[in-house]
Structure 1
Amino acid sequence: MKLEIAVQDVDGVRVAAQGGADRVELCQALPLGGLTPSLGLVELATGVGTDVHVLVRPRAGGFLFTATEVSVMVRDIEALVDAGAAGVVVGALTDDGGGVELDRHALKALVRAAEGIEVTVHRCVDVLLARAADPAALVERLVGLGVARVLTSGGAPWALGGVGTLAALVDAADGRLEVMAGGRVRPGHMAALAQAGVDAVHLSARTPAHDAGPAGPGGGPVVYDSTDPALVQAARSAVLEAGRSPR
């Protein structure tokens, strides 16, 4: 399995790379589920020397985006391609009254804007899987869109609880689509996720940090999230150990 670490800053990229991560997902506002980072942050992050996949999500909340929001995402992706991103992480759903589905129109526009760099569809798919969407049918839709991988917990609140669906996604993908397990993943979960056959695991490996300076009106709390080197290394060791164990 490959190891992807979700990070929010350049230091996080460095910590993940030094800890043995295969790639990072770069975003801002992880407590909100992640939002599109600034272009300046992306430009510096891509200079660290590891693959940077950038989350493109214009706001918090759900995944039903307006045409204007999709246009913003397209422009962001075009800029990210120029900034040297190795990939983008996107997702969009639609609800026409007949049920929630992947927004194929929006996703096709986002994939087209990516101009050949890798595209990951994020955990918007868990909205569908939690509503008993057929894993095989979902895989076929994603493969048809031309994306490289899907990030999912198997529709469960956490990836360890969705291992049965993850295994079904892997079987349906048959190597045509990478299946990456994400959602409250911990080092102790790696063996079970490896047994499910997933291609990669995704976690934030973050811990609270404290701003040394005083807080003021409008400055927000002094506590923020920071990528923890020990957690990254523990995750890497667990991935390597899981790879040595027979399935």
Structure 2
Amino acid sequence: MKLEIAVVSAAGAGTSASEGADRVELCTSLELGGITPSQGLMEASMEHVDGRLEIHPLIRCRPGDFRYSASEVDTMVHEIRHLLAQGAHGVVIGALTAEGDVDVHAIQRLVDATRAANPAAQLTFHRAIDQSRDPFAVLDQLVDLGFTRVLTSGHEATAGAGLQTLSEMVDRAAGALEIMAGGGLALADIPAMHAAGLSAVHLSAKKTVSTLREGAISLGAQDGADPTAYTVTDREMVRAARAEINALELDAPPA
């Protein structure tokens, strides 16, 4: 079972590599669901990782829904070109229509841009599938479009709640597409995901750091949130996830 960590810093990418993750989804603003990382962050992350794992940047030009204008798709095409040129192993993309179906026109443009930049690049469809009308119909389209994997919580708020659908998705994909469980995934969920046949799990593995002091002034934080707080990759959580997966695979009967 592969372990992917969502990271928002070069240090987080390095931590994930050191603790045995197989790949990272590189992004910024996890509190907004993640948006496209900068070229500087990509370059620094490549240096911190030093070839020890794969880096897959999220291509999402803004927070919010997954209905994109032509201009927004153009922006994401440029992001794909630049990040793949820097050495990304693949990209994480997704787009939906107003009806909740795959926006085939937008996705085809993003896929074509990926293939033009690097024919060997991997394609991951992100959790837009969990806002789709019919995740199984989306799954079939992704196979036809040549995707490598899909990140999904099984059409539920969390992967734990979506376990049954995730298992059905594994059966439906029949090895043509990797089903990666993610979205509110806890360490305690990993054994059930493994037992259900999932071949990869995705965790944010984050913790909050704060330097709050009395009299600190908010610079835009809402709802009285700590204006100094930010998230970092939790080394211990990545290590624990890797250990859990290793133990499960060690105990698994031979094929």
User: Deviations along 1:204-234, whole A, 9 cap, x unmatched?
Assistant: 1100112489955638611100101101111
More displaced, 231-240 or 41-50?
41-50
- Equivalent residue letter for 1:189: D
- Equivalent residue letter for 1:225: T
- Equivalent residue letter for 1:222: T
Q: 2:126 aligns with which of 113, 122, 133?
A: 122
How far apart are the structure 1 equivalents of 2:135 and 2:203? Answer: 25
> Is the contact made by 1:159 and 1:183 (CA closer than 8 Å) also made in structure 2?
yes
Percent identical residues: 44
1:158 has 2:158 as partner: yes
Give the CA deviation at 1:242: 2.5
Which ranges of structure 1 fall in alignment gaps of 5 or more residues? none
Give the CA deviation at 1:66: 0.6
How far apart are the structure 1 equivalents of 2:122 and 2:86? Answer: 14
How far apart are the structure 1 equivalents of 2:113 and 2:243? Answer: 36
Counterparts in 2 of 1:59-138, with a 5 A limit? 59-95=62-98, 99-115=99-115, 116=119, 117-128=121-132, 131=133, 133=134, 135=136, 137-138=137-138
Correspondence for 2:34: 34
Correspondence for 2:195: 195
More displaced, 208-217 or 42-51?
208-217
Give the match's secondary structure for 2:154. coil
User: Deviations along 1:53-111, whole A, 9 cap, x unmatched?
Assistant: 0001011111011110001000100111111111110110012xxx3201111111111
Question: 1:8/1:215 Cα in 2 relative to 1: closer, same or farther (>3 Å)?
Answer: farther
Q: 1:222 aligns with which of 221, 224, 228?
A: 228
Structure 1 runs, 4 residues or longer, greater than 4 Å off: 211-217
Which ranges of structure 2 fall in alignment gaps of 5 or more residues? 222-226
User: Deviations along 1:116-175, whole A, 9 cap, x unmatched?
Assistant: 2111000000112xx4x262x332200111111000000011101111111111111111
1:232 has 2:238 as partner: yes
> Is the contact made by 2:101 and 2:138 (CA closer than 8 Å) also made in structure 1?
no
Q: Which protein is richer in strand relative to its size?
A: 1
Correspondence for 1:57: 60
How far apart are the structure 2 equivalents of 1:180 and 1:242? Answer: 17
> Is the contact made by 2:25 and 2:57 (CA closer than 8 Å) also made in structure 1?
yes
More displaced, 85-94 or 208-217?
208-217
Correspondence for 1:169: 169
Give the match's secondary structure for 2:64. coil
How far apart are the structure 2 equivalents of 1:100 and 1:138? Answer: 10
- Equivalent residue letter for 1:121: F
Give the CA deviation at 1:14: 0.7
How far apart are the structure 2 equivalents of 1:12 and 1:134? Answer: 31
TM-score by length of 1: 0.92
Question: 1:100/1:196 Cα in 2 relative to 1: closer, same or farther (>3 Å)?
Answer: same
Correspondence for 1:43: 43
TM-score by length of 2: 0.89
Count of paired positions:
240
> Is the contact made by 2:77 and 2:110 (CA closer than 8 Å) also made in structure 1?
yes
